[in-house]
């Protein structure tokens, strides 16, 4: 197959639409089920590159959850502790601890569950039965992987009344050195971004604190590879083998840092005892996600308000006050932060510090690098200049 006809492009009025190989060669993918659309394939091809690179560099199975051409999270297959399992809604998954791929999926899908609603999933490894069973019960549009165990494939084919999009990718496929796209009828051409992100990129430490443990190197690599496939401007917080906060597509870098920091904070707060022990009635998973988010962020429709809580809880929970949340978050350190371009002001470091950031990797090159470094030194943060921008559009 050297082309695949799409139902339509980004929007229903954009017809005809297709994907194809300009040189007439075979597409490096097979559609095993469903009929993926234009945006589905944009997510599929970007997400596949992300997990393939994570696996190649770190050696762990990797998974990412994608929405609208940016990752909500990415993770490698490290075990989950009991609190994280509960926060990710996977305490009931049999065989989870025996499947690193399933652990990676639990982390990636469980990080920002609201943003992952209706996501596209990419797996670095052949999809096993445990991972397929977890995906089956989530709201998702499709999946790309280098292969599927026969039973896993049959499980996934049952999703969406048999219409779940399942794509198999050739893991040996390498794109051409030059890539093109058209905008407004005008063709753009550039070299494919083959830049390798590994530990060598973290050697230029510019702060007084030079400490960079292996766990931080791993998390910074996860952060930077995630950014390589995130719509810019973007920053990414990472911790314990996964991206825990992605700020994508913002015009201002401080807005990226705030947005991603808020997501990282929410990820930590979801694991607080006060949240884990909420007295829920039997709710659907998406509805439960929404209630937890409202409970943590104290939205205008406060779920603890009298007359509202009865819909969700068996008894009224005590509010999770901003003071309690701040005290809880103050105990969190060791977070890694990557940025796809330099930080222009120290305010980004100030905000990152509030979310427990201890390690930073960014390109450097700002006229205010000295101020950014000084802010890191004030908090004892280790920062490496990578010298490489990672814009993606």
**Which residues are the active-site residues?**
67-68, 233, 393
Half-sphere CA count of 200, side-chain side, radius 13 A: 5
Cα(65)–Cα(47) distance, rounded to whole angstroms? Answer: 8
Q: Where are the alpha helices (DSSP H) in the chain?
A: 38-58, 82-87, 100-111, 129-136, 150-157, 214-228, 253-269, 273-276, 285-297, 322-329, 347-354, 369-379
Length of the chain: 393
Q: Which residue has the tokens 């994508």?
A: 248
Closest CA to 240 of 106, 358, 79, 110: 79
Cα(235)–Cα(74) distance, rounded to whole angstroms? Answer: 13
Is the Cβ–Cβ distance between 23 and 51 less than 8 Å?
Answer: no
When computed from its CA atoms, the radius of gyration of the chain, rounded to whole angstroms, is 21
Q: Which residue has the tokens 């492009």?
A: 9
């Amino acid at each position: 197959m050297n082309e695949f006809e799409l139902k339509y492009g980004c929007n229903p009025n954009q017809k005809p639409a297709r994907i194809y190989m300009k040189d007439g060669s075979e597409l490096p993918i097979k559609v095993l089920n469903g009929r993926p659309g234009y945006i589905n394939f944009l997510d599929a091809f970007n997400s596949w590159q992300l997990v393939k690179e994570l696996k190649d560099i770190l050696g762990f199975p990797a998974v990412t959850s994608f929405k609208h051409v940016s990752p909500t999270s990415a993770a490698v297959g490290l075990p989950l502790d009991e609190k994280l399992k509960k926060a990710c809604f996977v305490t009931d998954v049999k065989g989870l601890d025996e499947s690193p791929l399933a652990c990676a999926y639990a982390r990636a899908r469980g990080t920002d569950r609201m943003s992952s609603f209706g996501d596209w999933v990419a797996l670095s490894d052949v999809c096993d039965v445990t991972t397929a069973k977890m995906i089956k019960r989530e709201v998702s549009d499709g999946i790309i992987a280098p292969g599927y165990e026969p039973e896993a494939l049959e499980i996934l084919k049952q999703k969406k009344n048999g219409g779940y999009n399942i794509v198999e990718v050739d893991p040996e496929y390498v794109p051409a050195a030059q890539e093109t796209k058209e905008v407004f009828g005008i063709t753009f051409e550039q070299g494919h971004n083959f830049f390798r992100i590994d530990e060598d990129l973290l050697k230029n430490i510019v702060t007084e604190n030079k400490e960079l443990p292996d766990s931080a190197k791993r998390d910074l690599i996860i952060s930077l590879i995630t950014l390589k496939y995130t719509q810019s401007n973007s920053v990414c917080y990472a911790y314990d083998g996964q991206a825990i906060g992605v700020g994508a597509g913002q015009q201002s870098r401080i807005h990226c840092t705030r947005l991603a920091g808020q997501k990282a904070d929410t990820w930590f707060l979801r694991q607080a005892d006060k949240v884990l022990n909420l007295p829920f009635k039997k709710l659907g998973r998406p509805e439960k996600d929404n209630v937890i988010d409202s409970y943590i962020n104290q939205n205008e429709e406060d779920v603890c308000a009298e007359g509202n809580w009865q819909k969700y809880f068996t008894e009224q929970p005590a509010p999770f006050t901003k003071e309690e949340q701040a005290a809880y978050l103050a105990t969190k350190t060791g977070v890694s932060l990557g940025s796809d371009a330099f930080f222009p002001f120290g305010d980004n470091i100030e905000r990152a510090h509030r979310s427990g950031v201890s390690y930073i990797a960014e390109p450097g090159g700002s006229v205010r690098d000295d101020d950014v470094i000084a802010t890191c030194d004030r908090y004892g943060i280790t920062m490496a200049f990578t010298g490489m921008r990672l814009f993606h559009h």
